[in-house]
Amino acid sequence: MEGTIATPVAYEDASPEVRAVYDDIMETKGIDFVPNFWRTVASHPPLLRDIWESLKATMAPGRLDVLTKELIALAVSATNGCDYCINSHTAAARMLGMDDEMLGELMAVVGVFNRTNKLSDAYQVPVDERIKKAVRG
Amino acid sequence: MEGTIATPVAYEDASPEVRAVYDDIMETKGIDFVPNFWRTVASHPPLLRDIWESLKATMAPGRLDVLTKELIALAVSATNGCDYCINSHTAAARMLGMDDEMLGELMAVVGVFNRTNKLSDAYQVPVDERIKKAVRG
Amino acid sequence: MEGTIATPVAYEDASPEVRAVYDDIMETKGIDFVPNFWRTVASHPPLLRDIWESLKATMAPGRLDVLTKELIALAVSATNGCDYCINSHTAAARMLGMDDEMLGELMAVVGVFNRTNKLSDAYQVPVDERIKKAVRG
Amino acid sequence: MEGTIATPVAYEDASPEVRAVYDDIMETKGIDFVPNFWRTVASHPPLLRDIWESLKATMAPGRLDVLTKELIALAVSATNGCDYCINSHTAAARMLGMDDEMLGELMAVVGVFNRTNKLSDAYQVPVDERIKKAVRG
Amino acid sequence: MEGTIATPVAYEDASPEVRAVYDDIMETKGIDFVPNFWRTVASHPPLLRDIWESLKATMAPGRLDVLTKELIALAVSATNGCDYCINSHTAAARMLGMDDEMLGELMAVVGVFNRTNKLSDAYQVPVDERIKKAVRG
Amino acid sequence: MEGTIATPVAYEDASPEVRAVYDDIMETKGIDFVPNFWRTVASHPPLLRDIWESLKATMAPGRLDVLTKELIALAVSATNGCDYCINSHTAAARMLGMDDEMLGELMAVVGVFNRTNKLSDAYQVPVDERIKKAVRG
C-alpha cells in the first residue's frame, strides 16, 4: 500500500492480537479483506484495538438501525470531505440497501445544511428562546 | 433580536413577498413563530426565498423519511459545530419523535466518525480498490 | 469520468429537463462543455436544478460585480480546501481578468485571515462593544 | 476584558515596543482604541508584531482595493465561523462603504459555494482537463 | 447546568456504573468535581464509558510525556475552535506546568501552520518526491 | 511541477531576493532542495518573504523545543487534513527524532480530541466556572 505516512501491517505479518482484531473486523462487516484504514492504524496496535472496539459497539443496531447509522456516518464524512471515509461508507451503505435515490436525497440534505450552517454562523444568529425550550424534548 | 450582523425583519414590517415566505415556513413546519434564522436572512429577500425553496423541496419526504432527514441535518450541524443549527435541528427531530436514546446513538456515531475521518486523512490512507468498485452499487 | 461516487450523466444520455439545464449552464458561463460537477449532481436531477438556479441568480451582477463575486467564491473554496472548486473558480476568475498579481494578493489575504481567525477563536477573544455597534452600519 | 485564556495588555501597561505597535494599528486603521484581538495577542509580544506586520502589508491597496480585500476577509471569516472576525471585518467593511445590499450579496455567495464546495468533495468530482488548462491563465 | 441539548447527570443521581466512571475521572485527573463535559455525555452511558476509557489510555505517559500530550490536545482544540476544549486543555496544561511563554509559543505555532495549511491546499501544492521518501523514517 | 494553480519559481529563474530566501530556507532546515510549497508561494514574492520570516522566527527553539513544535505543527496539519503539510511535518519530525511509537501516540491524541471537540460543540457544553478560573494559571 502506497501513500500512507505509517507502515501498514499485512495480515500475514500481524501479531496474534492484531490478527484477532482483523478477523473480528472481517466477520462483523461480512467482508473477506482487511481495508487499508485498519491496516494503517495497526501500525500503532493500541489505536487499532481502541478504535475498533469503539466503532463496533457504536455501530451495532439500537434505537437507530444499521443503515441509518451508515447514512449518518456518510453525512459526517461528506461534511468533513474525507475521501477514504466517503468511499468506505458509501460502499457500506450500498451493501445495506442504499439506492441511487437515497444517495441523491442524502447529498441534497448535506448540501442544504452546509449552506444554512455557514449562514447561521456568518450572520451570528442567536438561538430562539422557544427553540431552546424544545431542545430537551 | 440582538447579536446578528444584519437587521432582521419582523413579521409586522415584512413586505408581502417576505410575509408569504414566513407564512409558508410556519405552515410547513407546524410552528407559530418565525425563527431568528429566517428573520435574519430576510434582510436580503432573494436569499430568504432561495434558501427556503431549496430547503423545503429537499426536506420533503422521499426515499428517506422526514425524521431520517432531520437526523442527517443534525449530524451535519454537529460536525460543523453550528450552535443555532444544532439547537434548531434537535428541536425539529424531537417534534418528529427523536427520544434520548436516539440522540445518544446519533451523537455516538458523530463522535466515532469524526475521529476516523481525521485519522484517515492524517495517515493519508489510500482508498482500497475493492471499495472503489463497490461504491456505485 | 472516473472517481465520483455517483454515476455522472453525459449530455447525450440526459433527459430533456437535464439537457435544458446543461444548455443554460454552457450559455450563461460562455463555455462549450458541461463541467464534471454538473454532470455529477445530475445523477439526482432535483439537485442539479436547485443548485444551478440558486447559483445562477446569486452570481448575476448586482452591487458586487461578477469578478468580485468570483474572487469571493475562490476565497471560500481556498478556505475550505476544495480541490475541484479552487480549480474551477480560478479558471472562471482568469476568464474575467484576474491576473497573477491579483491571485497573489487574494491568496495573501486568505492566508493572513485564516491565521487570525484561528487565533481569535483559540484565545477566545470577546467582541469589542465598539465593534458590535459599528456592525450594522 | 473577560473571556480570553491569556492576560490581555492594556495600553497603559504596555512596553514601549508594544505601545508602538498599538499606535500604528490605531493610526493605520483610523480608530481610537486598541481592539481586544490585538490586546490579547500582545500577551506574547513577538506574535503581536509578526501578525501586525504581516496583516498591514497584506491589506495595503494593490491590484485589489481595500474594500475588496475586506470583503474577502469577511468571506473567509464567515466560512470559518469566527465570531470575533466576522464582527470585526463587517465593521471595517462598513467604514469602507459596504451597504446592506453588498453584505447580502456577499452572504449569498458565501452560502452558495459552501454548498457546492461540500458537494464537490462529497461526490469526489475529478477536475476537468479543460479547467486544469485554464487555471494558470 | 444550562445550555446543553441533553440532560446532564449529577453525581448524586448517577447510576453506580456512571458514578464509578466519575470517580475514576476525578482520581485520574486529580480534581474534586466532575466537569460538565463528562456529566453531559453521561446522558448516554455507553458514550461516557467509551470516551473515558479511550481518553484515559491515550493520555497515559508513553514515548510522549503528559504535558506534551496536553499541548497537542490544546493545539487540536485551538485549530477546531472548540471553546469548551480550549478552556479545558489550557487549564490542564497549566496544572502540568505550562507557563505564559509556552502558551504564547504554542499559539504562534498554531497560527503559522493554519496559514500554511490553507495556502498549501489553496495553491494545490503537490508533495515533493523527496519528502514522500522521508516520511516513513 | 504539475498541479498547482500558480506558476512555481525554480531556483535558476529566481530573482536575487527570492533566491536569498531559498538559500536561507535550505540552510535553516538543513536540506539541499527548495520544497514545492516555497517555490509555489514565490509566485507572489511578498508572500514568500512574509511567510518565511514568520515561520522561521516561530519555529526557533524557545520554551518549547524544536521537536515539540514540529509535533504541534503535525497535529494542526492532521486536524486540518492538509496532505502537503502532513507529509512535510512528518518528514521534519522524523529528522528530529520522531520514532514510530511517538507518531502513533501523537495520532492517538489527535483522534481522541477530534472526537471530544466535536461532541463538546455538538452537545453545547458550557465551560465550568472552575475551569475558567484555572485557565490563566
pLDDT tens across A10-24, in order?
999 999 999 999 999
pLDDT range class, residue C136, cuts 50, 70, 90: confident
Are B10 and B51 found together in one domain?
Answer: yes
Integer CA distances (angstroms), E26 to D127, E34, F125, in order: 52, 7, 18
For the cut 90, the answer to whether the pLDDT of residue B52 exceeds it is yes
Residue C65 is assigned to a structural domain of this protein: yes
The mean pLDDT value for D47-74 works out to 98
**pTM above the 0.80 mark?**
yes
pLDDT at position B25 is 98
How high is the mean pLDDT of chain D? 97
- Chain B residues touching A99 at Cβ < 8 A: 63, 137
pLDDT range class, residue E3, cuts 50, 70, 90: confident
Contact status of E112 with chain C (Cβ, < 8 Å): yes
pLDDT at position B137 is 79
* E114 with C112: Cβ contact below 8 A: no
Contact status of A104 with chain C (Cβ, < 8 Å): yes
Q: Model confidence over C16-74: pLDDT tens digits?
A: 999 999 999 999 999 999 999 999 999 999 999 999 999 999 999 999 999 999 999 99
The full length of chain E comes to 137
Residue after which a domain boundary falls, among E15, E36, E60: E60
Burial class for B133, CB neighbours closer than 10 Å (0-12, 13-18, 19+): exposed
Are E66 and E127 found together in one domain?
Answer: yes
Quickly list DSSP for chain D. --S-SS----GGG--HHHHHHHHHHHHHHT-SS--HHHHHHTTSHHHHHHHHHHHHHHHS-SSS-HHHHHHHHHHHHHHHT-HHHHHHHHHHHHHTT--HHHHHHHHHHHHHHHHHHHHHHHTTPPPPHHHHHHTT-
| Nearest residue in B to E3, CA atom | B87
Are D5 and D46 found together in one domain?
Answer: yes
| Nearest residue in B to E41, CA atom | B104
pLDDT at position A136 is 87
Are D69 and D53 found together in one domain?
Answer: no
pLDDT range class, residue B2, cuts 50, 70, 90: confident
Q: Which amino acid is at F17?
A: E
| Nearest residue in A to C3, CA atom | A87
- Chain C residues touching A101 at Cβ < 8 A: 44
Q: Among E32, E106, E117, E124, which would you mutate to test the F interface (most chain F Cβ atoms within 10 Å of its Cβ)?
A: E117
pLDDT at position F62 is 98
- Chain C residues touching B6 at Cβ < 8 A: 136
Are E79 and E113 found together in one domain?
Answer: yes
Q: Which amino acid is at C90?
A: T
For the cut 90, the answer to whether the pLDDT of residue D40 exceeds it is yes
3-class state of residue D20 by DSSP: helix
- Chain B residues touching A128 at Cβ < 8 A: 33, 35-36
pLDDT at position A112 is 98
For the cut 90, the answer to whether the pLDDT of residue F3 exceeds it is no
Closest partner residue to E104 among D44, D80, D82, by Cβ?
A: D44
CA–CA separation, C59 vs C40, rounded Å? 21
Are A4 and A55 found together in one domain?
Answer: yes
pLDDT at position D136 is 87
Residue F136 is assigned to a structural domain of this protein: no
CA–CA separation, D107 vs D121, rounded Å? 21
How high is the mean pLDDT of chain C? 97
| Nearest residue in E to C76, CA atom | E122
Proportion of chain C above pLDDT 90, given as a percent: 96
Q: Model confidence over F58-117: pLDDT tens digits?
A: 999 999 999 999 999 999 999 999 999 999 999 999 999 999 999 999 999 999 999 999
F49 CB-side CA count, 13 A: 13
- Chain A residues touching E53 at Cβ < 8 A: 50
Q: At what angle do helices D100-122 and C83-95 cross, to 10 degrees?
A: 130
pLDDT at position D2 is 80
Are D79 and D117 found together in one domain?
Answer: yes
Q: Model confidence over B113-125: pLDDT tens digits?
A: 999 999 999 999 9
Contact status of C84 with chain F (Cβ, < 8 Å): no
Are C46 and C32 found together in one domain?
Answer: yes
* B76 with A75: Cβ contact below 8 A: yes
For the cut 90, the answer to whether the pLDDT of residue A2 exceeds it is no
How high is the mean pLDDT of chain A? 97
Q: Which of residues 7-26 of A touch E (CB under 8 A)?
A: 7
SS3 content of chain D, % helix, strand, coil (to 5): 70, 0, 30
- Expressed as residue numbers, the domain containing F4 is 1-60
For the cut 90, the answer to whether the pLDDT of residue D111 exceeds it is yes
pLDDT at position E12 is 97
The mean pLDDT value for E94-109 works out to 97
Min distance B40 CA to chain E CA atoms (Å): 22
Q: Model confidence over E35-47: pLDDT tens digits?
A: 999 999 999 999 9
Number of domains in chain B: 2
Residue D36 is assigned to a structural domain of this protein: yes
Min distance F37 CA to chain B CA atoms (Å): 18
Q: Where are the alpha helices (DSSP H) in A1-35?
A: 16-29
pLDDT range class, residue F18, cuts 50, 70, 90: very high
* B44 with D81: Cβ contact below 8 A: no
- Chain E residues touching D7 at Cβ < 8 A: 100
Neighbours of A (≥3 Cβ pairs closer than 8 A)? B, C, D, E, F
Are C74 and C89 found together in one domain?
Answer: yes
Cα three-residue angle D57-D62-D67, rounded to 5 degrees: 90
Are A49 and A16 found together in one domain?
Answer: yes
The mean pLDDT value for B7-35 works out to 97
Are C83 and C41 found together in one domain?
Answer: no
Residue F35 is assigned to a structural domain of this protein: yes
Residue C130 is assigned to a structural domain of this protein: no
Provide the CATH number for the domain around residue B68.
1.20.1290.10
Q: Model confidence over C80-135: pLDDT tens digits?
A: 999 999 999 999 999 999 999 999 999 999 999 999 999 999 999 999 999 999 99
Q: Model confidence over E49-93: pLDDT tens digits?
A: 999 999 999 999 999 999 999 999 999 999 999 999 999 999 999
pLDDT range class, residue B94, cuts 50, 70, 90: very high
Closest partner residue to D78 among A107, A114, A122, by Cβ?
A: A122
Residue A38 is assigned to a structural domain of this protein: yes
Residue B67 is assigned to a structural domain of this protein: yes
Burial class for E10, CB neighbours closer than 10 Å (0-12, 13-18, 19+): exposed
Contact status of C111 with chain F (Cβ, < 8 Å): yes
Residue C127 is assigned to a structural domain of this protein: no
Q: Model confidence over F19-71: pLDDT tens digits?
A: 999 999 999 999 999 999 999 999 999 999 999 999 999 999 999 999 999 99
* F88 with E121: Cβ contact below 8 A: no
Proportion of chain B above pLDDT 90, given as a percent: 96
pLDDT range class, residue B106, cuts 50, 70, 90: very high
Min distance F49 CA to chain C CA atoms (Å): 11
